Structures are given as structure tokens and as C-alpha cells.
Amino acid sequence: MKAYERALELIKKEGAEAVLVSNLANIRYLSGYTNDTGYLLITDKKRFLLTDFRFTTQAKLEATDYEVIETRGYAKVLAELLEKEEISKVAFEEEDIPYSVYRAFSEVFHCEMLPIANILSTLRQIKTPQELAYIKEAEHIGDRALAKLLPELKPGMTEAQIAAMLEFNMRMLGAENISFPSIIASGVNSSMPHAMPGEKPIEIGDFITMDFGCKYHGYCSDMTRTIVLGKASEKQKEIYNIVLEAQLECLEMMKPGVVCKDVHNKAVEIISKYGYGQYFGHGLGHSVGLEIHESPACNGRCEDVLQPGMLMTDEPGIYIEGFGGVRIEDLVAITETGYENFAESPKELIEL
């Protein structure tokens, strides 16, 4: 069954007859179209891709199962198509369409618009072997980029310079883009889980947390390693080893049938056992694919069950304001019997 057929099955269960797709990752997944402008309209009998003049040739080459319509007046053309196809209820991705666009559509559509949140994105939870191969290669590009970077790190380099070097390495090793702006956080900045790299120079004694990833054939990778520039203090070693213990214990739980929140709670349990529970405030992990954050998530609320073909990050951390922090992250694929770790970079504490 093709992806767009599975999408129709889902929206029919919600009571709709057609679906308007606006999320770019879902558009790519359902049609093969890779650019960033357009909509899909999928009905029982027909499939349309609407885009403007700049992208029509590309759309015809990529979205071969769709009729490509060139337009800049999306609302009017969609309304005409819905009326022609005799659609009385069309589903739309409420989390992706801005209110102004929704209002423009609702003013001209002569059918009911049914919000379906992120239902279509659940189609992407189980990866195909080809998708897994792309993500694995993206992660390996990150491994090689980090290995090339580490010998070049010297006191006085800024976080922003390190981010630029790391992203350049990934590009030169075959990445088509970065998955997200790299997080390079040194010293006290490493206590901020999503610190943006700035002009702070790295110094002897700093924790340096590096969270980064790249895209390969549109698919994302994600990895975090934390090192110490110079010799680690006893407290740095203590915190690092606690995070590593939690990371390894959770890794062994990654297998089919395990509930996502149970994996997260294991990390909380281990970190809390050593008295640092208050310093771990985010979810353990998330899935990755065409987008850097996909479902399911490994957090304290997610009831989803791990299945073969799912991807999950495993990234516990400890973050102490005014001191610094540690995060260690791998990206793993759930297999029939356990997991395959796509990350190969070493996890023992590196002291440069």
C-alpha cells in the first residue's frame, strides 16, 4: 500500500473524504516532492500537488503519482477542486496551517474543514529499510566530522567557530545540510541544554557539549558528545559517569514492546539515585526522520510502544547552573530483537 493510500485510511477514520496536506515533511513523504512551497490534496480518486511557477517542473519530476497544478491563488483553486470532486468534509493539518491561511480557506471552501492535528505524521513512525539507510549514513557523517574536529580544538577558539568547523566538516563529508543549528556549549554555558554557540572562547577545564546532526537525502541525524578541555575535575567525572550510566541503562531498554515513558523514567531513576534528579528536566529522547523531532517521544507522558523500524534518541543529561552540564546522545533503530546503535563515536570521557 502506498503512503497516500495509508493517509486516506487514517483520515476516513476521522470522518473526512479528502485531506489537505501542508506539513512539508508529510508532503515529501506522501508525494516525493522535496521543495518548500505547495499543498497536496488527496481524494479517493485523484491526487493533486499545487505549487507555483518556480517549482512546477521539479514537482512533475518528483511527484509522479500526482497531478501538478500551477497557481499562486491556492484558496481559490483548492475550493474549485473540492467542489469538482464533490467533497463535503476535508481534513487539514491544524498544527501546520496558520490562522490567517485557515481563515482564507474557510471563506471560500464550500465544505466542512476537519482539524486532524498531527495524525498524518504518525505514518512516518516506522521507517523503511531505505529510510533507515539514509539516517544511518547521516549519523556516520556526524561521527566522522566529530573525529576530524577533536584534534583541532584549542583554547581560545569560540563556540561559534567550533560550530562552523563542525558543520563544514559534515558538508565536506557528504551532508546536504545540517539537521538543526549546532549546539556548542562550553564551561558554564553547558548547563543550558539548548545553548546557542556564541563568542565565548573555550578554556582549559571546560566541559564542551556538542549536539549536532546533518541531513542525507532529506533524513536527519542527531548526536551529542561532551568532552573536557584539559583534565577533568572529580566533580566533572562524577557527573559524566552518572549520565553515562543512565544512557547505557536506557540503551539496553530500547527494544520492541517497551513503553516509551518507562525508558525515560529509568533515566530519571538513575540520575535521582545519585542526588541529581532536579538537574535533569527534559525528555530522554525523540524520534528522528525527515524532521529532527518526530513521534514518538521518550518522555514521562508518552504511552507509545517501541516497534521495529522506529528510531529513538537516548540523551540523558545533568545541567547545573553556574557549573556546567553533560549530555550524551546516541541514535538507535529498534530491531526485531533489540536495537542497532547508529552512533559510533566513543562515549568514555575524552580529556583533550
Query: Does the domain formed by 129-341 have CATH 3.30.450.20?
Result: no
What is the chain's mean pLDDT, rounded? 97
pTM for the full predicted model: 0.95
Q: Is the pLDDT of residue 335 over 90?
A: yes
- Cα 10 from Cα 236, distance rounded (Å): 49
Question: pLDDT at position 201, please?
Answer: 98
Asked if 334 and 254 touch (Cβ cutoff 8 Å), the reply is yes
pLDDT, tens digit, 9 for 90 and up, residues 241-280? 999 999 999 999 999 999 999 999 999 999 999 999 999 9
Per-residue confidence band for 1, with pLDDT thresholds at 50, 70 and 90: confident
* Residues 271, 252: Cα–Cα separation, whole Å: 16
CA distance 105 to 98: 11
For residue 1, give every residue at least 6 positions away whose Cβ sits within 8 Å of its Cβ, in sequence order, or none.
none
Domain boundaries, the chain: 3-124, 129-341
Q: What's the mean pLDDT in 308-335?
A: 98
CA dist., res. 294 & res. 23, Å (int): 13
Superfamily (CATH) of domain 3-124 = Creatinase/prolidase N-terminal domain (3.40.350.10)
Q: What is the mean pLDDT of residues 213-237?
A: 98
User: 100: part of which helix (H) or strand (E)?
Assistant: helix 99-108
Over residues 53-63, the pLDDT tens digits come to 999 999 999 99
Collapsed DSSP state (helix, strand, coil) of residue 210: strand
Write the pLDDT tens digit of every residue in 2-21.
999 999 999 999 999 999 99
Characterise 183 by phi-psi region: left (phi > 0), alpha (psi -120 to 50), beta (else). beta
Predicted pLDDT at 266: 98
Return the sign of the alpha-carbon dihedral for residues 139, 144, 147, 153.
negative
At residue 75 the predicted structure's pLDDT band, cuts being 50, 70 and 90, is very high
pLDDT digit string, tens, across residues 90-104: 999 999 999 999 999
Q: What percent of the chain has pLDDT over 70?
A: 100
- Which pLDDT score, from 0 to 100, does residue 269 have? 98
